[in-house]
Amino acid sequence: MLYYCITSNIAIVLGVNECARKRLCTTLKNMENDRYDIVIVGGGVSGTALLYALSHYTDIQRIALIEKYHLFGQVNSHAKNNSQTLHMGDIETNYSAEKARQVRGAAGMVKRYTETLPPEERDTILRRVQKMVLAVGQGEVETLEKRHDALKEIFPELQKLDAHGIAEAEPEVMRGRDPHELVLGLCSSQGYAVDFGLLARSFARRAQEAAGNTVNLLLGHTVEQIERRDGVYILNTDKGPVRADIVVVNADAHSLGFAKSLGYGKEFSLIPIAGSFYFTPQKLRGKVYRVQDPRMPFAAVHGDPDLTAPGLTRWGPTARFYPALEAGKLSTMRQFFSASGMHRIATWASFGSILLDPLRFWYLLRNFFYDLPVIGTYFLLPQLRKIVPTLRGRDVRRARGYGGMRLQRVDTRTRELLLGEGKIIGDKIIFNMSPSPGASVCLYNAMRDAEAISGFFPDEDYHFDKARMARDLCEEKIETIEDPSLYDTYAS
Ligand SMILES: Cc1cc2nc3c(=O)[nH]c(=O)nc-3n(C[C@H](O)[C@H](O)[C@H](O)COP(=O)(O)OP(=O)(O)OC[C@H]3O[C@@H](n4cnc5c(N)ncnc54)[C@H](O)[C@@H]3O)c2cc1C
């Protein structure tokens, strides 16, 4: 502080203007301490979107992003670990109309961002695909009819298709189907498949281009512990300590462990559900989702084209209990046990109450059989045949190396499953846990966090040009600054 006052006064004496004075003081302060104004932990699509927002629309001088892997977007944001869907709310049948309206605007920011990129970069990140939600049977058809009435104003491009229309849009969905079976589709040509891992890399690259050496990308650094001393956060990494005034932990499920170590969010736990995927030869032209059972926390298996595997249709995700924080990484089991608070009786009681619910228990048991070698695909087949009736067991194979972790948050006080995003705002620190549709609304969440950060700065020390960010990236006027992934959500 003393340092700030001295440099500030020298600057005033030298006749430097207010803005330049602030910059000079901050730079000198940072040079002195090798300390950052803000450190973001996690280089997935959430962390890099925030980096992009801060570097382009704020006057923060020193930002670092710490990522444990050597590339951005290697965990849940990786194209192999999620369904690559830009969730807009039209085919996600458990979004309310109001939520669909918000998500459409928020997800539109990703599309708008890609439009600012050179075509060769844009085309690797985002591809336009047809998308459809399919209702099978009287009950589902009625639900979808009502939904179409509620959504047609928000999504005028959404077409209602009868059996004939479905056969034209997606021939394999109707081929071999019982002609007496009642079906209805809501279809749009304006769906998007997104490689969120490449999107993360693009955000990081653009952030560094915009802000030069005021942005420091610390790849291959694992944050082992965060502590706070004399008002400064010290992030102890395997390569040495990094200091920061403000920290945003965007490490998805890993965020909860860090929060707990600093005394936040002790009441929460995590139920670890791995989502696996399967391949068949290409059967679908676009994405085909199903009407969601509102009682289920997990989306029904859907079929998607895959940006990483042209000529195939990817099916999934299934849901399997897997006690770790990263799919296929048993080395993250220890972090899972500490983040989820498995030493607490309240955690076990919550797990029991949630997982022994007959509907969920049966669902998870069924999903357990899908992963059995050889015969597993035969258990899965009836689910896939609801979309493509002619699929055979030999068409289906496990997509090895594909799959992500859906860590469902639990409030151990109420023993309730919390499906939305987890956000804990502490003293100059934010912890984000970002399940679906977190990747789709990453820029919107970044905008909201950039705004929340202003509350951490004294006086006028921080300027976030939200209006310019909205002008650049929002296709429509976004009124609310609430996070559309914070509430009831769609686990895809
Ligand atoms: C099966 C499945 C399907 C999904 N489908 C969709 C979909 O179709 N559309 C959609 O919008 N969303 C989907 N999602 C959700 C989406 O994947 C997430 O919302 C999004 O990837 C979250 O991004 P993130 O950056 O918060 O997390 P991540 O991408 O997981 O990034 C977190 C980063 O933190 C880093 N990190 C963790 N610990 C440390 C540490 N100690 N030190 C340094 N770095 C650390 C990790 O290495 C990682 O890079 C799906 C998720 C799953 C599991």
User: Over the stretch 354-374, which tens digit does the pLDDT of each residue have?
Assistant: 999 998 888 889 898 998 888
Average pLDDT over residues 28-43: 76
Note the pTM of the prediction, 2 decimals.
Answer: 0.91
Q: How many whole angstroms from 76 Cα to the centroid of ligand 1?
A: 3
Convert the pLDDT of each residue in 52-64 to its tens digit: 999 999 999 899 9
Average pLDDT over residues 239-267: 96
Model confidence band, residue 3 (pLDDT cutoffs 50, 70, 90): very low
E strand or H helix that includes residue 42: none
Atom of ligand 1 nearest to the CA of 197: 29
Q: How many residues does the chain have?
A: 492
Atom of ligand 1 nearest to the CA of 75: 30
pLDDT given at position 395: 95
Residue 455: what are its φ and ψ, rounded to 5°? -70, -15
Atom of ligand 1 nearest to the CA of 48: 25
Residue 129: what are its φ and ψ, rounded to 5°? -140, 155
Q: How many whole angstroms from 197 Cα to the centroid of ligand 1?
A: 9
Domains and CATH numbers, the chain: 1-33 (no CATH), 34-265+286-306+420-492 (3.50.50.60)
Report the pocket of ligand 1 as residue ranges, CB < 6 Å. 41-47, 66-69, 74-77, 82-85, 87, 196, 222-223, 250-252, 254, 275, 317, 404-406, 434-440, 492
Judged by DSSP in three states, 456 sits in coil
pLDDT given at position 2: 38
| Residue 469: pLDDT over 60 | yes
Minimum CA distance residue for ligand 1 atom 15 = 436
| Residue 7: pLDDT over 90 | no
CA distance 233 to 429: 9
Minimum CA distance residue for ligand 1 atom 30 = 76
Residue among 69, 71, 74, 77 whose CB has most ligand 1 atoms within 8 A, to mutate: 77
Convert the pLDDT of each residue in 324-351 to its tens digit: 999 989 999 999 999 999 999 999 999 9
- Cis-peptide into 118, omega within 30 deg: no
Q: Which of 6-15, 35-44, 81-90 has the lowest mean pLDDT?
A: 6-15
Q: How many whole angstroms from 225 Cα to the centroid of ligand 1?
A: 20
Residue among 46, 52, 69, 82 whose CB has most ligand 1 atoms within 8 A, to mutate: 82
Residue among 235, 436, 448 whose CB has most ligand 1 atoms within 8 A, to mutate: 436
Q: How many whole angstroms from 406 Cα to the centroid of ligand 1?
A: 9
Q: How many whole angstroms from 237 Cα to the centroid of ligand 1?
A: 20
| Residue 33: pLDDT over 60 | no
Atom of ligand 1 nearest to the CA of 433: 26
Q: How many whole angstroms from 165 Cα to the centroid of ligand 1?
A: 36
User: Based on the number of CB atoms within 10 Å of its own CB, is 254 exposed (0-12), middle (13-18) or buried (19 or more)?
Assistant: buried
Beta partners for residue 188, in sequence order = 131
pLDDT given at position 14: 44
Model confidence band, residue 482 (pLDDT cutoffs 50, 70, 90): low
pLDDT given at position 293: 82
pLDDT, averaged across the chain: 89
Q: How many whole angstroms from 275 Cα to the centroid of ligand 1?
A: 13
pLDDT given at position 28: 46
Atom of ligand 1 nearest to the CA of 49: 25
Q: How many whole angstroms from 75 Cα to the centroid of ligand 1?
A: 5
Question: Which has more pLDDT, 462 or 247?
Answer: 247
CA distance 301 to 480: 32
CA distance 50 to 255: 15
CA distance 149 to 154: 10
Separation of CA 53 from chain center: 16
Model confidence band, residue 415 (pLDDT cutoffs 50, 70, 90): very high
Q: Check: CB of residue 283 under 8 Å from CB of residue 315.
A: no
Average pLDDT over residues 124-128: 97
